[in-house]
Structure 1
Amino acid sequence: MDKPVSGRRHFLISTAVAAGAGVAGSLGAKVRDGELGAPPRTYQGGVPWTEGLADEPPGVSGTDFKFFTPAERAFIEAAVSRLIPNDELGPGAVEANVPFFLDRQLAGPFGRGDHYYLGGPWPKGAPEQGYQSRFSPAQMYRAAIAAIDKYTHANFNGADFAKLSEDNRDKLLKGMESGSIQLEDGVDAKTFFAMLLQNTKEGYFSDPIYGGNKDMGAWKMIGFPGAHYDYREWVTRHGEPVPFPPVSFKGRAGWNGES
């Protein structure tokens, strides 16, 4: 059991680090190239804002599902529970509230595809071209879930995906990942799997204000302290764990802004 657990931890940590590095690298390049305006300024003797005037971080509230139907929710919970299972190392995707995160994202601007170009034509693109589909993300999820259940009905004695055994769910997800499974109704299985996996990881590691990463369980698992104000003393202390419990954008019980 030691090897699979270690592998899972390494995969999740490397995924989170790579995502952060990509954003930081892109932002750094834009600053160097002048795309984001003037270089950052250094302030001394005070902070460049008035305390208490900043907008409160956005967040989600409630526990109801706004986008997924009950059948779609059953699919999502069954699928993400296999992508990130619950074990002794840390919470799984379901325990971390990833289905709720996905629901809220698909019910909002991401689901509508506000930041995607969705106009035609729609030939199959190369991997480096990114998302290429006539579907918005919300439409993709809805069409794909229906197409997957249609596939399982035809190949697993009329059963929905959510009713399959864990082994059969794993086989189907791997087939979608590799592209060996073909779905109907214009759904590309490989494209949908890539989106589902990426969104699942985002919900697992995101700040809890977005509905996932319940109780900061994923951050606790990888030792990430979260949204602390000042990490300067740790910049040169490579390889040392930061001994702070995690804190989200909205704080945590007992947080005083220093630890």
Structure 2
Amino acid sequence: MAKEPKNYSRRDFLKTSGVAAGALIGGGIIGGLIGANANNTAAPGEAPATSEGGSAGGVRGLMFFKNDAEFQILAQATERIFPEDDLGPGAIGLGVPYFIDRQLAGAYGENSKEYMQGPFLEGETTQGYQSRLKRNEMFRQGLQIMQQEAQSRFKANFVDLEGGQMDEILTAFQEDEIQMSGVNALFFFRLLRMATLEGAYADPIYGGNQNMEGWKMKGFPGHQAAYINDIESEDFVEIEPHSLGMQN
């Protein structure tokens, strides 16, 4: 019998993500919740175009994905993990899919700075990276299996599913019920979830957190040159966020 999905709010999601205090702990975001809008039956948002009309308002090309269909699956999966709601934009609106695309094309996706020689043994869930696969290979395989699961379970493409159906597939990954090659489904899900959160809250210079909306939702000031003019103020000071890519 299928498990009844729970209805989580964005605030519940952030609390269980370890980011409720406004800080993103690199490498340590391993979650329990995927369906922040699990009972939301509204049609998922459209992913931004891969050429003109992207979320940046200009031309945004892809660096890793050569198949737009895979990129759209990624976009919808990240939106289910970090959905748009009354607090602000979701993963798509924040440009998270483009952030992940850029990361997969670089040292992160290629595991360039990590030891990747054998022997390769199946590690415990508490251990770190144990796979012979590079991260970009894991992502590509995971997205392809999402599509296969959508076809098998619902006779439809993943991007055409209702939100609850997408959540069912993502939950199957989270609960390690999906068979993957060279990596277990839970580890892939954790990578996907962590990358989604990083794209939502990293400096916009890396391609996500569009217009610093992720920071604005949390009142995070970004990278300020100094606080000397405000530090002794007895009143609460609201500071406009500042990105590394902005001119001082």
Q: Same fold (TM over 0.5)?
A: yes
Determine whether 1:212 maps to 2:208.
yes
The residue number in structure 2 matching 1:107 is 105
Which letter does structure 2 place at the counterpart of 1:245?
E
Q: CA contact under 8 A between 1:209 and 1:249: conserved in structure 2? A: yes
Runs of 5+ in structure 1 lacking a partner? 23-60
The residue number in structure 1 matching 2:159 is 162
Alignment of 1:84-233 (within 5 A): 84-157=82-155, 159-179=156-176, 181-231=177-227
Q: Compared with structure 1, are the counterparts of its residues 126 and 231 closer, same or farther at alpha carbon in structure 2 (3 Å cutoff)?
A: farther
**Aligned partners of 2:148, 2:199: CA distance in 1, in Å?**
27
1:234, CA displacement in angstroms? 6.8
Q: CA contact under 8 A between 2:133 and 2:182: conserved in structure 1? A: no
Q: CA contact under 8 A between 1:81 and 1:94: conserved in structure 2? A: yes
1:186, CA displacement in angstroms? 3.8
Which of 75, 78, 81 lines up with 1:80 in the alignment?
A: 78
The residue number in structure 1 matching 2:20 is 14
1:185, CA displacement in angstroms? 3.7
Output the TM-score relative to the length of structure 1: 0.72
Alpha-carbon deviations, 1:64-109, whole Å to 9, x = none? Answer: 0121221111111110110000011011010000001111111111
1:131, CA displacement in angstroms? 1.5
**Aligned partners of 2:84, 2:104: CA distance in 1, in Å?**
24
- Provide the secondary structure at the position in 1 that maps to 2:25: helix
Alpha-carbon deviations, 1:32-71, whole Å to 9, x = none? Answer: xxxxxxxxxxxxxxxxxxxxxxxxxxxxx95101212211
**Aligned partners of 1:224, 1:18: CA distance in 2, in Å?**
11
Alpha-carbon deviations, 1:226-256, whole Å to 9, x = none? Answer: 1101236777989x8541110101226xxxx
Which letter does structure 2 place at the counterpart of 1:182?
I
The residue number in structure 2 matching 1:37 is none
1:148, CA displacement in angstroms? 2.4
**Aligned partners of 2:15, 2:128: CA distance in 1, in Å?**
26
Q: Compared with structure 1, are the counterparts of its residues 235 and 137 closer, same or farther at alpha carbon in structure 2 (3 Å cutoff)?
A: farther
Which of 233, 240, 248 lines up with 2:243 in the alignment?
A: 248
Which letter does structure 2 place at the counterpart of 1:244?
I
Q: Compared with structure 1, are the counterparts of its residues 247 and 127 closer, same or farther at alpha carbon in structure 2 (3 Å cutoff)?
A: same
Q: Compared with structure 1, are the counterparts of its residues 234 and 6 closer, same or farther at alpha carbon in structure 2 (3 Å cutoff)?
A: farther
1:183, CA displacement in angstroms? 2.3
Output the TM-score relative to the length of structure 2: 0.75
The residue number in structure 1 matching 2:40 is none
**Aligned partners of 1:15, 1:137: CA distance in 2, in Å?**
28
**Aligned partners of 2:27, 2:178: CA distance in 1, in Å?**
34
- The total of aligned residue pairs comes to 210
Structure with greater helix share of residues: 1
Q: Compared with structure 1, are the counterparts of its residues 6 and 188 closer, same or farther at alpha carbon in structure 2 (3 Å cutoff)?
A: closer
Q: CA contact under 8 A between 1:98 and 1:200: conserved in structure 2? A: yes
**Aligned partners of 1:199, 1:116: CA distance in 2, in Å?**
18
Q: Compared with structure 1, are the counterparts of its residues 162 and 116 closer, same or farther at alpha carbon in structure 2 (3 Å cutoff)?
A: farther
Q: Compared with structure 1, are the counterparts of its residues 103 and 163 closer, same or farther at alpha carbon in structure 2 (3 Å cutoff)?
A: same
Q: Compared with structure 1, are the counterparts of its residues 20 and 151 closer, same or farther at alpha carbon in structure 2 (3 Å cutoff)?
A: closer
**What percentage of aligned pairs have identical amino acids?**
34
Q: CA contact under 8 A between 2:120 and 2:130: conserved in structure 1? A: yes
